[in-house]
Chains A and B, each alone.
Chain A
């Protein structure tokens, strides 16, 4: 099985059984999935929030550029590739 690689045209969505939540104890956003829990930094949380299964990574990058200064498209591609490898997101 090959590791999925995020491209600007890919449409990311959370896999079944995966959800984002806020951990009050740690004061951070987390993603809960069958294999465990990941702690997200604020920009990673913003990226995952935008993964609605209908929006391409290119469009997500464009949207985030209105919310953050200096958005790097390669950062978003790298993050989603890593999350796909962890079976948190699917890349359609």
Chain B
């Protein structure tokens, strides 16, 4: 397996 490209880590709010 080749390493995946880095994507800026992020999170978002769970919307009900």
Contacts and interface: CB of A to CB of B under 8 A. Distances in A.
Interface residues of B, number: 12
B7 A83 contact: no
Interface residues of A, number: 25
B9 A69 contact: no
Contacts of B9: 40-41, 43-44, 46-47, 75-76, 79
Given A75-B9, A79-B9, A36 B4 contact: no
Contact of B10 (A31, A41, A70): A41
Contact of B3 (A42, A66, A75): A66
A39 B3 CA distance: 23
Interface of B: 3-14
